[in-house]
Amino acid sequence: MDQNQFLTLISLLAPITLVFGIIVGFYNFKRLDVSIRFLFFYLVLCLAVDLLYRYFGYYSHLKYNLFIIPIFAFFEFAIFSGLYYKHILKSRSNTFILFVAAALLCIFIELLFVNRLLHQKSFQSYGKVIGDAAIVFYCLLYYWKLFNGSIPIVTEHRYLNVAVLIYFSINLILFLPINFLVNASISIVFLFWVLNLVSVILFYLVLIYLIWRNGKTRECLL
């Protein structure tokens, strides 16, 4: 078994983890806080995108799936923007809304350059980088508002913010040189893709734990 086959095989842990998380989320959905429901929707999005990656990468005649990345980035950023704006940062700022709208527009504009997205040699997802950087900014803004007393301490939000900050910081570092990673030999970039897979699965597990914990806590309160 070569490195490419090994990576493909262990990558199956991601959809398996997502299916487990969606089952947990579905079972607890009615008891979840509205903010935690965003995590459930995110897991559903991730599973749908994972299946699309595999279809276009392995089964479609295209054998190419990179164009899905900016599409995923758009919806991923929209979900986390809604989560942070409404429930974590509790912002009522028009500037924040304009920031979100501008970032979403930048990601959407990238989708218009279809020719570049459909060629592996020239592929570069600036939209994913913008989305990741903006979400890291939300995490740092959370700490700023927490320290100056603008928002209350919520245990789930505190744990979630740590996980989001670590995961999207790693994601940002990995997607900055994405053109190199998708065009270089697998033997050269193997460790980068393993790091990405490990960080993804650990992030999913944290989200699943938060969903389960919130559901059980709410169940006890009821």
* More confidently predicted of 121 and 50: 50
Q: Does the pLDDT at position 100 exceed 80?
A: yes
> What tokens appear for 115 in the block?
């020719």
Instruction: Give the pLDDT score at 116.
Output: 78
Residue 186: pLDDT band (50, 70, 90) is confident
Looking at residue 13, its amino acid is L
Of the given ranges (14-18, 111-115, 132-136, 147-151), which has the lowest mean pLDDT?
111-115
Instruction: Give the pLDDT score at 20.
Output: 97
Instruction: Give the pLDDT score at 5.
Output: 79
Mean pLDDT (the chain) is 92
What digits encode the pLDDT tens for the residues 200-220? 999 999 999 999 999 887 666
Integer Rg of the chain from CA: 18
Q: Does the pLDDT at position 1 exceed 80?
A: no
Q: What pTM was computed for the model?
A: 0.94
- Any idea where the domains of the chain sit in the sequence? 13-221
Looking at residue 135, its amino acid is I
* More confidently predicted of 90 and 139: 139
Q: Does the pLDDT at position 222 exceed 70?
A: no
Q: Does the pLDDT at position 64 exceed 90?
A: yes
Burial of 95 (0-12, 13-18, 19+ CB in 10 A): exposed
Q: Do 138 and 82 meet the contact criterion of CB atoms below 8 Å apart? A: no
Residue with tokens 């950023």: 77
What digits encode the pLDDT tens for the residues 37-62? 999 999 999 999 999 999 999 899 88
Residue 24: pLDDT band (50, 70, 90) is very high
Instruction: Give the pLDDT score at 185.
Output: 85
Q: Does the pLDDT at position 108 exceed 80?
A: yes
The CB density around residue 178, as the number of other CB atoms within 10 Å, is 18
Task: State mean pLDDT over 88-110.
Answer: 93
Kindly give, in sequence order, each residue whose CB lies less than 8 Å from that of residue 106, ignoring residues fewer than 6 positions away.
126, 127, 130
CA 178 to chain centre: 16
Residue 199: pLDDT band (50, 70, 90) is very high
Residue 187: pLDDT band (50, 70, 90) is confident
Whole-number Cα distances in Å, 44 to 15, 40, 128, 176, 218 = 10, 6, 19, 26, 22
Task: State mean pLDDT over 66-93.
Answer: 95
Q: Do 2 and 192 meet the contact criterion of CB atoms below 8 Å apart? A: no
Q: Do 67 and 127 meet the contact criterion of CB atoms below 8 Å apart? A: no
